[in-house]
């Protein structure tokens, strides 16, 4: 079984979208649209977990990154374990999406190979055994 930090680092590596959305939300003042605080908390938590693993995820730091009061996290999550479970779910969801995208690319490639003529199916650099 994979550890939470491994899943998060694998799935979110190179995801620049997460950092920019979190920083945009932290600059905002006043009421936020419904559901954005929870999403921003999860994104900030994923960022912390990516940089230091699950031990680096501190709710006070997450709320500071998002720009909300420290107890705001407890309006959305019962405790730290519930927050970590939400981070895991987000990471697994992103992993599943990337896997689905990869499978669809492979299927598209296999479909185009099936439609190709036998002459098109040869591998570059591999000599043909029998000429056509």
Task: Give the pLDDT confidence score for residue 3 in this predicted structure.
Answer: 56
Q: In this structure, what token pair is assigned to residue 28?
A: 């905002």
Q: How far apart are CA 113 and CA 122, in angstroms?
A: 10
Per the CB < 8 A criterion, the answer to whether 13 and 95 are in contact is no
Task: Give the pLDDT confidence score for residue 124 in this predicted structure.
Answer: 57
Q: How far apart are CA 44 and CA 68, in angstroms?
A: 12
Q: How far apart are CA 50 and CA 8, in angstroms?
A: 6
pLDDT in single tens digits along all 132 residues of the chain:
455 555 555 555 544 444 444 444 445 566 667 779 999 999 999 999 999 988 999 999 999 999 999 999 999 999 999 999 999 999 999 999 999 988 888 776 665 655 655 555 555 555 555 555
Query: Which segments within the chain are labelled E, that is strand?
Result: none
Query: What phi and psi, each to the nearest 5 degrees, are found at residue 119?
Result: -65, -30
Predicted model pTM: 0.58
Per the CB < 8 A criterion, the answer to whether 63 and 41 are in contact is yes
Q: How far apart are CA 80 and CA 74, in angstroms?
A: 9
């Amino acid at each position: 079984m994979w550890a939470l930090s491994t899943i998060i680092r694998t799935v979110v590596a190179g995801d620049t979208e997460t950092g920019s959305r979190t920083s945009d939300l932290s600059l905002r003042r006043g009421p936020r649209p419904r559901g954005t605080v929870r999403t921003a908390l999860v994104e900030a938590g994923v960022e912390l977990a990516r940089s230091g693993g699950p031990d680096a995820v501190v709710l006070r730091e997450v709320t500071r990154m998002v720009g909300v009061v420290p107890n705001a996290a407890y309006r959305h999550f019962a405790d730290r374990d519930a927050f970590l479970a939400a981070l895991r779910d987000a990471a697994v969801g992103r992993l599943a999406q990337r896997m689905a995208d990869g499978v669809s690319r492979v299927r598209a490639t296999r479909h185009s190979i099936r439609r190709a003529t036998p002459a098109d199916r040869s591998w570059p650099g591999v000599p043909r055994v029998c000429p056509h």
